[in-house]
């Protein structure tokens, strides 16, 4: 197991939803796994006026239930609490950072990890105030959560604010999808096996589908979501990052900038979607009243915080193409939505069919070979191949070679945030987005948004609890394909 060097981890937004649901539980897991150096501290920072004891009660109430239960043994929670401190600061107020300075005094030799789990409006002020209070050491790193801007211009502004105080090599832009075990395994599968490389290209792969479907609606984040929409919230970051991992050339090494350089080349090779292409290759949807998991879901526009006449999309499907030798002509279909029928996140690689079938296949057979990398509802990789049905004759049926790593390794408690936090602690940048990647992703997304605005493309309604607007099926059907659905 990797052992990070001693650090001080300063978590801004330490009372927030993300901190309670993901970050503190992941830190507990790291601690319980014995990867937390003895002298390392976690300093949580937020506005709420808690004493340390009150904050620990708050954490016990809101975060403890989210940790890996098998790690909650004997005194593991109490030992984790010993490393936690709390400082109440209004992050806009320069002088109050001195309270943080007191906590960090004499600890300059340790790696200093600033984790910004706050709204992006605070990123600039936090950097500036850390700088003014001389709290940034040469061993400092800064990690930032999405959203990193709402277009290329605002992303550049955020970057300019951060880069006044931190070098690019100190900035860790988080996309937690890259920390997910199946995505890491996709990298292992592609570059740890010679088997797939000759097949990983046009002529062998027919189409790629990336789906992130949520059953949840806006869940109390209506105001934020209504200003953002599915394209900015999911496609610009998570789905494009997964596309990059599938499509990138083999990096020279996993260390340093190898992976980031290759991902950038993919983003730059994305065929721009502009004008009429946006109309024919993207689908915008918005959920209307329906039933998800036996529960009534209201119209999106009736959700708290959402404008009654909102035209924000809660669903996007689009066809992306990559203009390079390896991928020319191979469609990459991306879709994501809220209040969908099923919760599923998966990457599906459909291989070409055999050029001529010599078998007596049943009609309506799915594509013979398919690699499915599933992240939700369970993690795993399946390769579907054709095999003979037992019994008379030569009737073929698809069977799955199932790479169920949770059973093989019984690793249980390792999650995406845990993995990325350990990378942050160890200074491993390869799974974090570099500024030029972010810039290239926005450069591809911005014209889609402006075309939707200029051409008044309104979202098509889909009932909550379905697979999105019918136009989404038509998008892939026009190319002669259909979306992969579980059990299909």
Residues known to be catalytic: 238
What are residue 388's DSSP bridge partners? 396
Candidate list 6, 33, 47, 258; residue touching ligand NAP; CB under 6 A: 47
Which C-beta is closer to ligand NAP: that of 4 or that of 120?
A: 120
Shortest separation between residue 51's beta carbon and ligand NAP, angstroms: 13
Give the interface segment with ligand NAP, choosing from 11-19, 99-107, 307-315, 460-468 (CB under 6 A). Answer: 11-19
- 408 cis-preceded (ω within 30 degrees of 0): no
Which C-beta is closer to ligand NAP: that of 149 or that of 459?
A: 149
Give the interface segment with ligand NAP, choosing from 29-37, 41-49, 333-341, 463-471 (CB under 6 A). Answer: 41-49
Taking a C-beta distance cutoff of 8 angstroms, is the pair 8, 40 a contact? yes
CA distance 147 to 120: 7
In this structure, what are the phi and psi dihedrals at residue 466, rounded to the nearest 5 degrees? -115, -170
Does 236 engage in binding with ligand NAP (CB under 6 A)?
no
Which C-beta is closer to ligand NAP: that of 90 or that of 323?
A: 90
Give the interface segment with ligand NAP, choosing from 7-15, 63-71, 196-204, 417-425 (CB under 6 A). Answer: 7-15
CA distance 138 to 124: 19
Task: Mark residues 173-202: x for contact with ligand NAP by CB under 6 A, - for none.
Answer: ------------------------------
Candidate list 24, 91, 246, 316; residue touching ligand NAP; CB under 6 A: 91
CA distance 466 to 288: 10
The site for ligand NAP, by CB under 6 A, has a size of 21
Which residue, judged by CB position, is nearest to ligand NAP in the bound state?
A: 16
Shortest separation between residue 481's beta carbon and ligand NAP, angstroms: 31
The DSSP string of 375-436 is EESS-EEEEEEEEEPSSSS--EEEEEEEE-HHHHH---S--HHHHHHHHHHHT--TTSB-HH
Tokens (6 digits) for 81: 């609490």
Which C-beta is closer to ligand NAP: that of 47 or that of 326?
A: 47
Taking a C-beta distance cutoff of 8 angstroms, is the pair 217, 287 a contact? yes
DSSP 219: T
Candidate list 8, 85, 145, 181; residue touching ligand NAP; CB under 6 A: 145
CA distance 113 to 166: 12
Taking a C-beta distance cutoff of 8 angstroms, is the pair 345, 375 a contact? yes
CA distance 432 to 179: 9
Which C-beta is closer to ligand NAP: that of 146 or that of 232?
A: 146
Give the interface segment with ligand NAP, choosing from 16-24, 100-108, 235-243, 453-461 (CB under 6 A). Answer: 16-24
Does 17 engage in binding with ligand NAP (CB under 6 A)?
yes
Which C-beta is closer to ligand NAP: that of 147 or that of 179?
A: 147
Residue 156: exposure state from Cβ atoms within 10 A (0-12, 13-18, ≥19): middle
Which C-beta is closer to ligand NAP: that of 117 or that of 418?
A: 117
CA contacts within 13 A on the Cβ side of 92: 3
Does 228 engage in binding with ligand NAP (CB under 6 A)?
no
Listed in sequence order, the residues at least 6 apart from 191 whose beta carbon sits closer than 8 Å to its beta carbon are 250, 251
Shortest separation between residue 355's beta carbon and ligand NAP, angstroms: 45
CA distance 233 to 445: 11
CA distance 123 to 324: 36
Candidate list 4, 16, 217, 229; residue touching ligand NAP; CB under 6 A: 16
Task: Mark residues 265-304: x for contact with ligand NAP by CB under 6 A, - for none.
Answer: ----------------------------------------
Applying the rule CB under 6 A, the residues between 103 and 132 that interact with ligand NAP are: 117-120
Does 90 engage in binding with ligand NAP (CB under 6 A)?
yes
Does 14 engage in binding with ligand NAP (CB under 6 A)?
yes
Taking a C-beta distance cutoff of 8 angstroms, is the pair 285, 316 a contact? yes
Give the interface segment with ligand NAP, choosing from 63-71, 75-83, 139-147, 207-215 (CB under 6 A). Answer: 139-147
- Would you call 12 helix, strand, or coil by DSSP? strand
- Would you call 372 helix, strand, or coil by DSSP? strand
Does 51 engage in binding with ligand NAP (CB under 6 A)?
no
Does 15 engage in binding with ligand NAP (CB under 6 A)?
yes
Does 147 engage in binding with ligand NAP (CB under 6 A)?
yes
CA distance 372 to 208: 10
Distance of CA 114 to the CA centre of its chain: 20
Does 219 engage in binding with ligand NAP (CB under 6 A)?
no
- Footprint of ligand NAP (CB under 6 A): 13-19, 46-48, 89-92, 117-120, 145-147
């Amino acid at each position: 197991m990797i052992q990070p060097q001693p650090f001080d981890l300063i978590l801004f937004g330490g009372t927030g939803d993300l901190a309670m649901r993901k970050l503190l539980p992941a830190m507990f897991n790291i601690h319980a796994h014995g990867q937390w150096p003895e002298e390392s501290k976690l300093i949580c920072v937020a506005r709420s006026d808690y004493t340390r004891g009150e904050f620990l009660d708050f954490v016990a109430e809101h975060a403890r239930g989210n940790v890996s239960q098998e790690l909650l043994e004997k005194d593991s929670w109490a030992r984790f609490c010993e490393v936690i401190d709390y400082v109440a600061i209004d992050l806009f107020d320069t002088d109050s950072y001195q309270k943080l300075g007191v906590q960090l005094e004499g600890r300059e030799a340790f790696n200093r990890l600033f984790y910004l789990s706050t709204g992006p409006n605070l990123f600039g002020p936090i950097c500036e105030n850390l700088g003014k209070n001389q709290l940034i050491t040469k061993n400092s790193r800064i990690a930032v959560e999405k959203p990193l801007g709402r277009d290329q211009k605002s992303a550049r502004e955020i970057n300019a604010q951060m880069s006044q105080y931190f070098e690019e090599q100190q900035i860790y832009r988080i996309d937690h999808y890259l920390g997910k075990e199946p995505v890491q395994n996709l990298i292992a599968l592609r570059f740890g096996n010679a088997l797939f490389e000759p097949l990983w290209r046009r002529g062998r792969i027919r189409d790629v589908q990336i789906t992130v479907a949520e059953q949840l609606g806006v869940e109390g984040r209506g105001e934020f979501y209504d200003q953002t929409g599915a394209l900015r919230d999911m496609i610009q970051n998570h789905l494009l990052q997964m596309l990059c991992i599938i499509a990138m050339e083999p990096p020279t090494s996993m260390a340093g900038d190898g992976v980031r350089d290759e991902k950038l080349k993919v983003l730059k090779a994305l065929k721009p979607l502009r004008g009429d292409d946006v109309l024919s290759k993207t689908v915008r949807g918005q959920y209307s009243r329906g039933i998800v998991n036996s529960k009534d879901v209201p119209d999106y526009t009736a959700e708290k915080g959402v404008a009654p006449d909102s035209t924000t999309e809660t669903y996007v499907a689009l066809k992306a193409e990559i203009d390079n030798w390896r991928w020319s002509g191979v469609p990459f279909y991306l879709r994501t939505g809220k209040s969908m029928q099923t919760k599923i996140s998966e990457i599906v690689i459909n291989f070409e069919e055999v050029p001529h079938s010599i078998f007596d296949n049943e009609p309506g057979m799915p594509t013979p070979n398919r690699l499915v990398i599933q992240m939700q509802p369970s993690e795993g990789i399946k390769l579907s191949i054709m095999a003979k049905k037992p019994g008379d004759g030569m009737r073929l049926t698809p069977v799955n070679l199932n790479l169920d790593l949770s059973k093989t390794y019984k690793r249980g408690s390792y999650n995406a945030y845990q993995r990325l936090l350990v990378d942050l602690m160890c200074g491993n940048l390869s799974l974090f987005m570099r500024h030029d990647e972010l810039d290239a992703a926005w450069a591809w997304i911005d014209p889609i948004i402006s075309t939707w605005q200029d051409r008044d493309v309104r979202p098509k309604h889909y009932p909550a609890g379905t697979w999105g607007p019918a136009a989404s099926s038509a998008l892939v059907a026009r190319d002669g394909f259909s979306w992969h659905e579980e059990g299909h």
